[in-house]
Protein backbone atom coordinates (compact mmCIF):
# COMPACT_ATOMS: atom_id res chain seq x y z
CA UNK A 1 0.00 0.00 0.00
CA UNK A 2 1.23 3.49 -0.83
CA UNK A 3 2.26 5.71 2.04
CA UNK A 4 -0.29 8.09 3.54
CA UNK A 5 -0.12 10.54 6.41
CA UNK A 6 -0.83 13.82 8.12
CA UNK A 7 1.28 16.91 8.85
CA UNK A 8 0.18 19.75 11.16
CA UNK A 9 1.47 23.09 12.38
CA UNK A 10 0.49 25.45 15.16
CA UNK A 11 2.33 28.56 14.06
CA UNK A 12 5.88 29.82 13.54
CA UNK A 13 7.75 32.65 15.21
CA UNK A 14 10.25 33.57 17.93
CA UNK A 15 9.69 30.28 19.73
CA UNK A 16 12.69 29.67 21.99
CA UNK A 17 13.25 27.20 24.82
CA UNK A 18 14.00 30.05 27.22
CA UNK A 19 10.55 31.53 26.63
CA UNK A 20 8.44 28.44 27.31
CA UNK A 21 8.21 26.76 30.69
CA UNK A 22 8.46 22.95 30.81
CA UNK A 23 4.81 22.82 31.88
CA UNK A 24 3.66 24.96 28.96
CA UNK A 25 5.79 22.96 26.53
CA UNK A 26 4.04 19.79 27.69
CA UNK A 27 0.67 21.44 27.05
CA UNK A 28 1.66 22.43 23.52
CA UNK A 29 3.00 18.98 22.74
CA UNK A 30 -0.09 17.30 24.16
CA UNK A 31 -2.44 19.31 21.95
CA UNK A 32 -0.27 18.79 18.86
CA UNK A 33 -0.21 15.05 19.54
CA UNK A 34 -3.97 15.03 20.09
CA UNK A 35 -4.57 16.78 16.75
CA UNK A 36 -2.28 14.28 15.02
CA UNK A 37 -3.97 11.30 16.65
CA UNK A 38 -7.48 12.48 15.78
CA UNK A 39 -6.63 13.24 12.16
CA UNK A 40 -4.44 10.21 11.53
CA UNK A 41 -7.05 7.83 12.97
CA UNK A 42 -9.37 8.91 10.16
CA UNK A 43 -6.72 8.21 7.51
CA UNK A 44 -5.79 4.89 9.09
CA UNK A 45 -9.40 3.71 8.82
CA UNK A 46 -9.51 4.57 5.13
CA UNK A 47 -11.15 7.97 5.62
CA UNK A 48 -10.76 10.99 3.39
CA UNK A 49 -7.94 13.49 3.63
CA UNK A 50 -10.47 16.34 3.85
CA UNK A 51 -12.01 14.72 6.93
CA UNK A 52 -8.61 14.25 8.56
CA UNK A 53 -7.53 17.84 7.91
CA UNK A 54 -10.76 19.31 9.28
CA UNK A 55 -10.72 17.09 12.38
CA UNK A 56 -7.10 17.92 13.22
CA UNK A 57 -7.69 21.65 12.84
CA UNK A 58 -10.81 21.56 15.03
CA UNK A 59 -8.61 20.24 17.86
CA UNK A 60 -6.22 23.16 17.43
CA UNK A 61 -9.05 25.70 17.08
CA UNK A 62 -10.53 24.45 20.36
CA UNK A 63 -7.20 24.76 22.19
CA UNK A 64 -6.56 28.17 23.83
CA UNK A 65 -2.83 27.73 23.20
CA UNK A 66 -2.88 28.52 19.48
CA UNK A 67 -3.81 31.53 17.40
CA UNK A 68 -7.00 30.11 15.89
CA UNK A 69 -10.49 29.75 17.32
CA UNK A 70 -10.46 29.99 21.12
CA UNK A 71 -7.34 31.87 22.17
CA UNK A 72 -6.92 33.76 18.90
CA UNK A 73 -4.97 37.02 18.96
CA UNK A 74 -6.94 40.27 19.20
CA UNK A 75 -7.48 43.17 16.84
CA UNK A 76 -6.66 46.76 17.77
CA UNK A 77 -10.25 47.00 19.03
CA UNK A 78 -9.79 44.02 21.35
CA UNK A 79 -12.00 41.65 19.36
CA UNK A 80 -11.28 38.32 17.69
CA UNK A 81 -11.65 38.14 13.89
CA UNK A 82 -11.02 34.73 12.38
CA UNK A 83 -10.03 33.47 8.93
CA UNK A 84 -9.84 29.91 7.57
CA UNK A 85 -9.84 27.85 4.38
CA UNK A 86 -9.82 24.26 3.20
CA UNK A 87 -9.07 22.69 -0.19
CA UNK A 88 -9.68 19.27 -1.71
CA UNK A 89 -6.80 18.22 -3.95
CA UNK A 90 -8.92 15.70 -5.86
CA UNK A 91 -11.58 18.15 -7.08
CA UNK A 92 -9.76 21.46 -6.54
CA UNK A 93 -12.83 22.45 -4.58
CA UNK A 94 -12.23 25.04 -1.88
CA UNK A 95 -14.04 26.99 0.80
CA UNK A 96 -13.04 29.87 3.07
CA UNK A 97 -14.26 32.40 5.62
CA UNK A 98 -12.76 35.77 6.53
CA UNK A 99 -13.31 38.21 9.35
CA UNK A 100 -15.80 36.07 11.25
CA UNK A 101 -16.50 36.74 14.92
CA UNK A 102 -19.07 34.16 15.97
CA UNK A 103 -18.30 30.84 14.26
CA UNK A 104 -16.82 28.46 16.83
CA UNK A 105 -14.87 26.44 14.26
CA UNK A 106 -14.10 28.46 11.12
CA UNK A 107 -12.58 25.41 9.41
CA UNK A 108 -15.97 23.66 9.50
CA UNK A 109 -17.65 26.70 8.02
CA UNK A 110 -15.03 26.72 5.26
CA UNK A 111 -15.77 23.10 4.50
CA UNK A 112 -19.51 23.76 4.38
CA UNK A 113 -18.93 26.56 1.91
CA UNK A 114 -16.82 24.23 -0.24
CA UNK A 115 -19.39 21.45 -0.23
CA UNK A 116 -22.74 23.20 0.10
CA UNK A 117 -22.50 26.54 -1.68
CA UNK A 118 -21.56 27.82 -5.14
CA UNK A 119 -18.98 30.16 -3.58
CA UNK A 120 -15.44 29.84 -2.26
CA UNK A 121 -15.01 32.75 0.16
CA UNK A 122 -17.62 34.30 2.44
CA UNK A 123 -16.80 37.12 4.86
CA UNK A 124 -18.15 38.64 8.04
CA UNK A 125 -21.89 38.55 8.76
CA UNK A 126 -22.61 36.73 5.50
CA UNK A 127 -20.33 33.88 6.43
CA UNK A 128 -21.85 33.75 9.91
CA UNK A 129 -25.39 33.64 8.52
CA UNK A 130 -24.39 30.77 6.23
CA UNK A 131 -22.79 28.91 9.11
CA UNK A 132 -25.94 29.33 11.16
CA UNK A 133 -28.01 27.95 8.29
CA UNK A 134 -25.70 24.93 8.25
CA UNK A 135 -26.33 24.47 11.98
CA UNK A 136 -22.72 24.99 12.92
CA UNK A 137 -21.90 26.17 16.42
CA UNK A 138 -22.32 29.93 16.84
CA UNK A 139 -20.80 31.57 19.92
CA UNK A 140 -20.28 35.01 21.42
CA UNK A 141 -17.03 36.76 20.45
CA UNK A 142 -16.11 36.57 24.13
CA UNK A 143 -15.71 32.80 23.73
CA UNK A 144 -12.50 33.32 21.72
CA UNK A 145 -10.90 35.90 24.02
CA UNK A 146 -8.52 34.82 26.78
CA UNK A 147 -6.82 36.93 29.43
CA UNK A 148 -3.49 35.92 27.97
CA UNK A 149 -4.41 37.52 24.65
CA UNK A 150 -5.71 40.67 26.36
CA UNK A 151 -2.36 41.05 28.09
CA UNK A 152 -0.51 40.38 24.83
CA UNK A 153 -2.51 43.12 23.10
CA UNK A 154 -1.87 45.57 25.94
CA UNK A 155 1.88 44.95 25.85
CA UNK A 156 2.01 45.10 22.07
CA UNK A 157 0.25 48.45 22.00
CA UNK A 158 2.60 49.80 24.66
CA UNK A 159 5.61 48.58 22.70
CA UNK A 160 4.33 50.15 19.49
CA UNK A 161 4.00 53.50 21.19
CA UNK A 162 7.63 53.27 22.30
CA UNK A 163 8.80 52.45 18.78
CA UNK A 164 6.59 54.92 16.95
CA UNK A 165 9.44 57.41 16.69
CA UNK A 166 11.48 55.01 14.56
CA UNK A 167 8.48 53.88 12.50
CA UNK A 168 8.62 50.25 13.57
CA UNK A 169 5.70 47.98 14.40
CA UNK A 170 5.39 46.61 17.92
CA UNK A 171 6.48 43.16 18.92
CA UNK A 172 4.47 40.65 20.80
CA UNK A 173 4.72 40.48 24.57
CA UNK A 174 8.15 39.25 25.65
CA UNK A 175 6.65 36.36 27.56
CA UNK A 176 4.56 35.23 24.60
CA UNK A 177 6.55 33.00 22.25
CA UNK A 178 4.99 33.88 18.89
CA UNK A 179 6.81 36.72 17.16
CA UNK A 180 4.51 39.58 16.21
CA UNK A 181 1.49 37.39 16.88
CA UNK A 182 2.27 34.77 14.26
CA UNK A 183 0.47 31.53 15.01
CA UNK A 184 -1.79 30.21 12.31
CA UNK A 185 -2.72 26.52 12.58
CA UNK A 186 -2.92 24.14 9.66
CA UNK A 187 -2.96 20.56 8.43
CA UNK A 188 -2.18 18.73 5.20
CA UNK A 189 -2.97 15.10 4.48
CA UNK A 190 -2.66 12.30 1.93
CA UNK A 191 -5.20 9.48 2.30
CA UNK A 192 -5.15 5.84 1.25
CA UNK A 193 -7.04 6.74 -1.94
CA UNK A 194 -4.22 9.02 -3.05
CA UNK A 195 -6.17 12.23 -2.43
CA UNK A 196 -4.61 15.32 -0.89
CA UNK A 197 -6.19 18.07 1.20
CA UNK A 198 -5.04 21.19 3.04
CA UNK A 199 -6.57 23.42 5.68
CA UNK A 200 -5.50 26.61 7.45
CA UNK A 201 -7.11 28.60 10.29
CA UNK A 202 -6.02 31.75 12.14
CA UNK A 203 -6.83 34.75 14.26
CA UNK A 204 -4.40 36.83 12.21
CA UNK A 205 -1.84 39.21 13.71
CA UNK A 206 -1.98 40.73 17.16
CA UNK A 207 -3.21 44.34 17.12
CA UNK A 208 -4.22 44.06 13.46
CA UNK A 209 -6.59 46.63 12.02
CA UNK A 210 -10.25 45.72 12.26
CA UNK A 211 -11.19 44.09 8.97
CA UNK A 212 -7.65 43.01 8.07
CA UNK A 213 -7.58 39.70 6.20
CA UNK A 214 -4.39 37.72 5.81
CA UNK A 215 -3.29 34.83 3.64
CA UNK A 216 -5.03 31.99 5.49
CA UNK A 217 -8.39 32.23 3.67
CA UNK A 218 -6.77 33.04 0.33
CA UNK A 219 -6.51 29.94 -1.84
CA UNK A 220 -3.02 29.78 -3.30
CA UNK A 221 -1.50 32.07 -0.68
CA UNK A 222 -1.77 30.39 2.72
CA UNK A 223 -3.46 27.19 1.58
CA UNK A 224 -3.47 24.95 -1.50
CA UNK A 225 -3.98 21.32 -2.51
CA UNK A 226 -3.74 19.56 -5.85
CA UNK A 227 -3.51 15.80 -6.38
CA UNK A 228 -1.05 16.38 -9.22
CA UNK A 229 1.51 17.80 -6.82
CA UNK A 230 0.99 18.50 -3.12
CA UNK A 231 -0.97 19.98 -0.25
CA UNK A 232 0.40 23.07 1.52
CA UNK A 233 -0.45 25.17 4.58
CA UNK A 234 1.51 28.25 5.58
CA UNK A 235 2.03 30.29 8.73
CA UNK A 236 3.73 33.63 9.20
CA UNK A 237 3.49 37.18 7.92
CA UNK A 238 0.44 36.81 5.70
CA UNK A 239 0.99 39.86 3.54
CA UNK A 240 4.17 38.27 2.18
CA UNK A 241 2.52 34.89 1.59
CA UNK A 242 -0.14 36.73 -0.44
CA UNK A 243 2.42 38.68 -2.46
CA UNK A 244 4.24 35.51 -3.49
CA UNK A 245 1.22 33.17 -3.63
CA UNK A 246 3.42 30.91 -1.54
CA UNK A 247 1.23 27.82 -1.22
CA UNK A 248 0.52 27.62 -4.96
CA UNK A 249 4.15 28.47 -5.66
CA UNK A 250 5.20 25.20 -4.01
CA UNK A 251 2.83 23.30 -6.28
CA UNK A 252 3.94 25.21 -9.38
CA UNK A 253 7.62 24.63 -8.69
CA UNK A 254 6.92 20.91 -8.45
CA UNK A 255 4.71 20.73 -11.54
CA UNK A 256 6.59 23.03 -13.88
CA UNK A 257 10.19 22.67 -12.70
CA UNK A 258 10.10 19.11 -11.40
CA UNK A 259 11.28 20.05 -7.93
CA UNK A 260 10.89 17.81 -4.91
CA UNK A 261 8.43 18.79 -2.17
CA UNK A 262 11.37 19.68 0.06
CA UNK A 263 13.18 21.87 -2.46
CA UNK A 264 10.00 23.59 -3.65
CA UNK A 265 8.97 24.45 -0.10
CA UNK A 266 12.38 25.91 0.70
CA UNK A 267 12.41 28.01 -2.49
CA UNK A 268 8.91 29.34 -1.79
CA UNK A 269 9.94 30.32 1.72
CA UNK A 270 13.12 31.99 0.45
CA UNK A 271 11.02 34.21 -1.80
CA UNK A 272 9.09 35.34 1.27
CA UNK A 273 12.30 35.98 3.17
CA UNK A 274 13.71 38.00 0.27
CA UNK A 275 10.82 40.42 0.68
CA UNK A 276 11.38 40.65 4.42
CA UNK A 277 8.81 38.10 5.56
CA UNK A 278 9.02 35.31 8.12
CA UNK A 279 7.10 32.10 8.60
CA UNK A 280 6.91 28.43 7.84
CA UNK A 281 5.35 25.89 5.50
CA UNK A 282 4.09 22.34 5.91
CA UNK A 283 3.54 20.21 2.83
CA UNK A 284 2.94 16.64 1.70
CA UNK A 285 3.14 15.35 -1.86
CA UNK A 286 1.24 12.69 -3.76
CA UNK A 287 3.76 10.03 -2.68
CA UNK A 288 3.67 10.87 1.00
CA UNK A 289 6.93 12.83 1.12
CA UNK A 290 6.77 15.74 3.55
CA UNK A 291 8.43 19.12 4.14
CA UNK A 292 8.33 21.43 7.18
CA UNK A 293 10.72 24.36 6.54
CA UNK A 294 10.61 27.62 8.51
CA UNK A 295 12.86 30.68 8.79
CA UNK A 296 11.94 31.63 12.36
CA UNK A 297 13.33 30.46 15.69
CA UNK A 298 10.75 27.70 15.86
CA UNK A 299 7.47 26.29 14.60
CA UNK A 300 4.91 24.15 16.38
CA UNK A 301 4.70 21.09 14.13
CA UNK A 302 4.07 17.38 13.92
CA UNK A 303 3.65 14.55 11.44
CA UNK A 304 2.54 10.93 11.36
CA UNK A 305 3.03 8.67 8.36
CA UNK A 306 1.79 5.15 7.64
CA UNK A 307 5.34 3.79 7.43
CA UNK A 308 5.80 4.50 11.13
CA UNK A 309 7.57 7.85 10.90
CA UNK A 310 6.17 10.39 13.35
CA UNK A 311 7.19 13.26 15.55
CA UNK A 312 6.24 16.48 17.28
CA UNK A 313 8.60 19.44 17.57
CA UNK A 314 8.57 23.07 18.59
CA UNK A 315 12.06 24.55 18.52
CA UNK A 316 14.39 25.16 15.63
CA UNK A 317 17.05 22.75 16.84
CA UNK A 318 14.72 19.75 16.62
CA UNK A 319 14.86 17.25 13.76
CA UNK A 320 12.21 17.85 11.09
Q: Which residues are tagged catalytic?
A: 184
Question: Which residue, among 89, 86, 81, has the nearest Cα to 117 in the 3D structure?
Answer: 86
What residues have CB less than 8 Å from 142, skipping those under 6 apart?
none
Q: Is 293 left (phi over 0), alpha (psi -120 to 50) or beta?
A: beta
Contact criterion met (CB below 8 Å) for 286 and 228: yes
The residue among 70, 71, 93, 69 whose CA lies nearest residue 83 is 69
Half-sphere exposure of 243 (CA within 13 A, CB side): 15
| Integer Cα distance of 285 and 306 in angstroms | 14
Inter-axis angle of helices 49-62 and 106-116, nearest 10: 150
Sign of CA dihedral 113, 114, 115, 117: positive
Contact 193, 169 (CB under 8 A): no
Q: Give the Cα-Cα-Cα angle 283, 90, 306 (nearest 5 degrees).
A: 50
Amino acid sequence: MARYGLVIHGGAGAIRRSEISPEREKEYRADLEKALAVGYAILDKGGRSVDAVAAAIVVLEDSPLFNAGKGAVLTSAGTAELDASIMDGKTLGAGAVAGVKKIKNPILASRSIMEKSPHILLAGPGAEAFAKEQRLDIVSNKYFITERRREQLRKTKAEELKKLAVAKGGRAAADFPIQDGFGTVGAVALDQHGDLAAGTSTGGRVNKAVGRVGDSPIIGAGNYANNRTCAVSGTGHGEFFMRTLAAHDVSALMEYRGMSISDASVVALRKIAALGGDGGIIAIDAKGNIALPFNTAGMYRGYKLSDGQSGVAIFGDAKK
